[in-house]
Amino acid sequence: MPEYKAPLRDFKFVMDELLNVQAHYSELPSAEMTTPDMVDAIIQEGAKFCEQVLSPLNLSGDQEGCKLTDKGEVLTPSGFKEAYQQYVEGGWPSISAPEEQGGQGLPESLGLVMSEMVGTSNWSWGMYPGLSHGAVATIQLHGSDEQKERYLPKLVSGEWTGTMCLTEAQCGSDLGILRCKAEPNADGSYNITGTKIFISAGDHDMAENIIHIVLARTPDAPAGTKGISLFIVPKLWVNDDGTSGDANGVTCGSIEHKMGIHGNSTCVLNFDGAKGYLIGPENKGLACMFTFMNFARLGTALQGLGAAELSYQGSVVYAKERLSMRSLSGVKNPDGPADPIIVHPDVRRMLLTQKAFAEGARAMIYFIAVQGDFVHHGATEEIRKEADEMMGFLTPIAKAFLTEVGYEASNEGMQVLGGHGYITEWGMEQIVRDCRIALMYEGTTGIQALDLLGRKVLMTQGASLKRFTKLVHVFCKEQAENEEIKEFIEPLAKLNKEWGEMTMKIGMAAMKNRDEVGAASYDYLMYSGYATLAYFWAKMALVAKQKLAAGTTETAFYEAKVQTARFYFQRILPRTVSHAQTALSGAGSLMDMPEEYFTV
């Protein structure tokens, strides 16, 4: 298994040099005490925990998996429970939670750095505390004062964990056809009955209690999505004094047998008259759920980043050590029987693809996280609204595009190792298996694409797109005379203009045939992803060029940034040409074939 090393220098580059987060934190009313020394200390300590505790459990957790005992207990892999106790004792679950709920009140963007390290070092383990974030956010935003007082302190501290129970066997992303029932009781509670599937971290032995956030229907609810409500349903009933009481009619029916993330207990959960309480207004469950969905999707985007980063770390070490054949341009290792494979152009292609996606993804995700800070803590309503709209536009791109290219990067990592990459003990194939689900979580790539093109772009008459492309336009205009980065600015400016023109053409076609939106959406999203990443790589190249011009002892680091940007623009960004052509090709080749022609 690759030995994870936190990319501390790149964290510093993105946060301090690219995004200037310290100035950003000084603008947040709640973050003025977030000093550079504090940030560095938190990241350093987090890196130690992830490198020394979580990373060594990644391969063993995959091989051992979770077990459901005859008594109905779910056991996590060896070492997982002990690691979680260390995590709680270190105060990591509470890093970005409000102080009034027992949290440390630090910005969400800082907490995201820890989430990246946790997820990259051991994604299966990281999902246990990671799923709690959704439960905490739901209760914070929509819970009553009594619900917040009862559930948040122990969720924030990590003594309890949380889940989101949405999916059922007959409904995946189409939650309008869910059947789980909520029968009201005289005391204001509800009896929840039904079965939920694919519940990550749905049951386990790592925490005393699990607080489930469950979608269900009340008896007279309207059909479809308009009749869905949201409920808090604890695994163990929570007494008035805050302690855990009796079992609450929630049991694990089975642990899903799945392709990857074996160390995480993905459960079928049976609710047999389990007692719960309504959270938020009745029949407004989906609206309540979507208020924190941008942050949930950003968490999934991290898996794409993590897959690219870890596969790069594993394959670059191997490529420097593995000897095979001689360089086409002459012997590079005369004292050995062959040259290291890193001298071969195709191996360089794979390594640079991984590096470009990992470092580009980090810049994109951290930029969006900064918007998230403003959403929650911006000084004015205008600042909060502007950030929310920017975040809303970029989030489906980050979630879908970065998981797609992260999966590509993980496959490239396995390919670098050749046959050894296919063998379990090297750990490269595990990254591929673990990452694959990220393309489906929180809505598949296709659903994110429809959200981007349909809801975020066309339904706003292009306003959300213009908000971002204006940012790109201003940057390109400011740097138009900068010869040092002309190779990046000119293609970026051209692409930015084409993006708007392509959107208008799709919109015009969609006015005649709504299927044109669905037909174009995937390629539109991928085009948008490559274009967005180009903006961040151009920005990173500018920073690197400025540092080199000013004089630096880290020449190799900054030159590598420029050269990776050049690789991205010359060898990856041209993919936009085919995506644009496909997006504009129309729905005919997809929809003209009669359904009966699809035969087996």
Extract the tokens encoding 181.
Answer: 């029932």
Is the four-CA dihedral 380, 385, 390, 395 of positive or negative sign?
Answer: positive
Are the beta carbons of 2 and 427 closer than 8 angstroms? yes
Token pair belonging to 532: 């967005």
If DSSP codes are grouped into helix, strand and coil, which group holds residue 267?
strand
As annotated, the active-site residues are 442
Coil, helix or strand at residue 345: helix
Token readout for 114 is: 């820890």
Q: Within its chain, how far is the Cα of 76 from the centroid?
A: 23
Structure-token pair, residue 565: 């940007």
Cβ-based neighbours of 332, under 8 Å, separated by 6 or more: 326, 339, 340, 343
What is the phi/psi pair of residue 402, to 5°?
A: -70, -30
| Confidence at residue 565, expressed as pLDDT on a 0 to 100 scale | 98
User: Quick one: how far is CA 445 from the chain centroid?
Assistant: 13
Residues 254-257: contacts with CB within 8 Å, 24+ apart? 254/68, 255/66, 255/67, 255/68, 255/74, 256/197, 256/198
User: In 3D, which of 149, 127, 136 has the Cα closest to residue 97?
Assistant: 136
Per-residue b/e over 531-550, b at no fewer than 16 CB within 10 Å?
A: bbbbbbbbbbbbbbbebbee
Residue 122: which of 206, 31, 60 has the closest Cα? 60
Integer-rounded Cα radius of gyration of the chain: 24
Q: Is residue 140 classed as helix, strand or coil in its secondary structure?
A: helix
- Taking only the tens of pLDDT, the chain with its 600 residues reads 799 999 999 999 999 999 999 999 988 887 878 999 999 999 999 999 999 999 999 999 999 999 999 999 999 999 999 999 999 999 999 999 888 888 999 999 999 999 999 999 999 999 999 989 889 999 999 999 999 999 999 999 999 999 999 999 998 788 889 999 999 999 999 999 999 999 999 999 999 999 999 999 999 999 999 999 999 999 999 998 889 999 999 999 999 999 999 999 999 999 999 999 999 999 999 888 877 677 788 999 999 999 999 999 999 999 999 999 999 999 999 999 999 999 999 999 999 999 999 999 999 999 999 999 999 889 899 999 999 999 999 999 999 999 999 999 999 999 999 999 999 999 999 999 999 999 998 889 999 999 999 999 999 999 999 999 999 999 999 999 999 999 999 999 999 999 999 999 999 999 999 999 999 999 999 999 999 999 999 999 999 999 999 999 999 999 999 999 999 999 999 999 999 999 999 999 999 999 999 999
Return the amino acid letter for 151.
Answer: Y
Which of these, 503, 500, 501, 480, lies nearest to 491 by C-alpha position? 480
With CA atoms as reference, report the closest residue to 227 among 284, 161, 280, 143.
284
Q: Are 264 and 201 in contact (CB under 8 A)?
A: yes
Residue 38 near residue 463, CB atoms below 8 Å: no
Which is nearest to 126 in space by CA: 44, 42, 212, 61? Answer: 61
Tokens 């609206």 map to which residue? 287
Q: Where are the alpha helices (DSSP H) in 94-144?
A: 108-121, 123-142
Quick count: other Cβ atoms within 10 Å of Cβ 278? 22
What's the Cα-to-Cα distance from 516 to each of 191, 396, 444, 520, 576, rounded to whole Å? 44, 19, 19, 6, 19
The span from the first CA to the last CA of the chain, in angstroms, equals 41
Residue pair 544/363 in contact by the 8 Å Cβ criterion: no
In degrees and rounded to multiples of 5, residue 190 shows phi and psi of -130, 150
CB 188 within 8 A of CB 214: no
For the whole prediction, is pTM greater than 0.85? Answer: yes
Contacts of 414 (CB under 8 A, 6+ apart): 311, 421, 422, 428, 429, 431, 432
Biggest CA-to-CA distance, the chain: 84
